[in-house]
């Protein structure tokens, strides 16, 4: 580990498309929730002896059928050889699963910062093995990511800039429409070959990379682009099916 990612060439190609398609999985909507986690643990460790305190979380999610928790999600494609790109934050891998549509496994990362529940999903595109799709979920609570461990994110690394060519942040707003079915398959295709109706940053060369990178690191991730849509959701959770599109 140690951030091997830095230094590799990365090109972000995002595809926003499909406003309705959720980046991740359709059923993961509830994703954010830690629902299963708690349950899982409970049964394994506490065996139901009550935890009293954590119940609130369980209830929250279980309370009703709100399966869909809308957490700000932002996905973008990166052309890189390494799956995990260092964006300036410290991530801890907490799982890996094989994806049906892709021969490549999907890795799950969580921000190690205390209080920050931001999650990141990284998977390699089945169509283009050179493309890595990174999906961020949630907002970082800490302003300055600063990479303590690597001493610098790839953004800071001159090598990184030198290597990457273009960065396209993929901004995803999941409209949660009523689509069901092969969302997953479409997802991948859409991401890659769709045009970005909402946000398309087509930059090339260092400039773009720098931009994206800067913004990622400076804002702690994708504040600029994400903020807008994220805020809507985060700030006004009441609106469930609003469409946050640009």
Determine, following the binding rule CB under 7 A, whether residue 62 of this chain makes contact with DNA.
yes
Distances (CA, A) of 154 to 48, 51, 101, 189, 241: 45, 42, 30, 28, 37
Among 69, 78, 153, 184, binds DNA (CB under 7 A): 184
Nearest partner of 196 among 11, 10, 14, 74, judged by Cα: 14
Position 96 contacts DNA (CB under 7 A): yes
Residue count at the site for DNA (CB under 7 A)? 47
Cβ atoms within 10 Å of 54's Cβ, excluding its own: 14
Taking CB under 7 A as the binding criterion, the range among 48-56, 94-102, 157-165, 226-234 that sits at the site for DNA is: 94-102
* Interaction of residue 41 with DNA, rule CB under 7 A: yes
Q: Is 59 a binder of DNA (CB under 7 A)? A: no
For residues 77 and 123, give the distance between their C-alpha atoms in angstroms, rounded to a whole number: 10
67 binds DNA (CB under 7 A): yes
Question: Of the candidates 1, 49, 143, 235, which one interacts with DNA according to CB under 7 A?
Answer: 1
- Produce one character per residue of 27-41: b if its CB has 16 or more CB atoms within 10 Å, e if not: ebbbbbbbbeebeee
Question: Is 231 a residue that touches DNA (CB under 7 A)?
Answer: no
178 binds DNA (CB under 7 A): no
Among 70, 110, 163, 173, binds DNA (CB under 7 A): 110
CB of 85 to DNA, least distance (A): 12
Distance (Å, whole) CA 166 – CA 100: 29
By the 8 A CB rule, do 197 and 16 touch? yes
> Of residues 76, 89, 91, 160, which one binds DNA by CB under 7 A?
91
70 binds DNA per the rule CB under 7 A? no
Applying CB under 7 A, the residues found at the interface with DNA are: 1-2, 24-28, 30-32, 34-41, 43-45, 62, 65, 67, 84, 90-101, 106-108, 110, 112, 119, 121, 149, 180, 184
């Amino acid at each position: 580990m140690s951030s091997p990612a830095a230094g590799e060439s990365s090109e972000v190609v995002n595809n926003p498309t499909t406003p309705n398609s959720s980046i991740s999985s359709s059923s993961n909507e509830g994703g954010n929730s830690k629902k299963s986690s708690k349950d899982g643990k409970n049964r394994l460790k506490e065996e139901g002896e009550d935890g009293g305190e954590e119940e609130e979380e369980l209830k929250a999610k279980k309370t009703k059928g709100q399966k869909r928790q809308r957490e700000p999600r932002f996905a973008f494609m990166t052309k890189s050889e390494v799956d995990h790109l260092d964006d300036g934050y410290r991530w801890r891998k907490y799982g890996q699963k094989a994806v049906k549509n892709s021969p490549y496994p999907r890795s799950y990362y969580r921000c190690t910062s205390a209080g920050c529940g931001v999650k990141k999903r990284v998977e390699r595109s089945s169509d283009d093995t050179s493309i890595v799709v990174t999906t961020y979920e949630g907002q970082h609570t800490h302003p300055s990511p600063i990479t303590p461990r690597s001493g610098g994110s790839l953004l800071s690394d001159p090598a990184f800039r030198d290597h990457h060519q273009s960065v396209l942040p993929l901004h995803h707003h999941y409209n949660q429409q009523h689509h069901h079915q092969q969302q997953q398959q479409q997802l991948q295709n859409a991401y890659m070959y769709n045009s970005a109706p909402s946000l398309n940053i087509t930059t090339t060369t260092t400039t773009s990379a720098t931009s994206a990178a800067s913004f990622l690191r400076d804002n702690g991730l994708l504040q600029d682009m994400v903020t807008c849509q994220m805020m809507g959701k985060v700030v006004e959770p009441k609106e469930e099916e609003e469409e946050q599109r640009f």
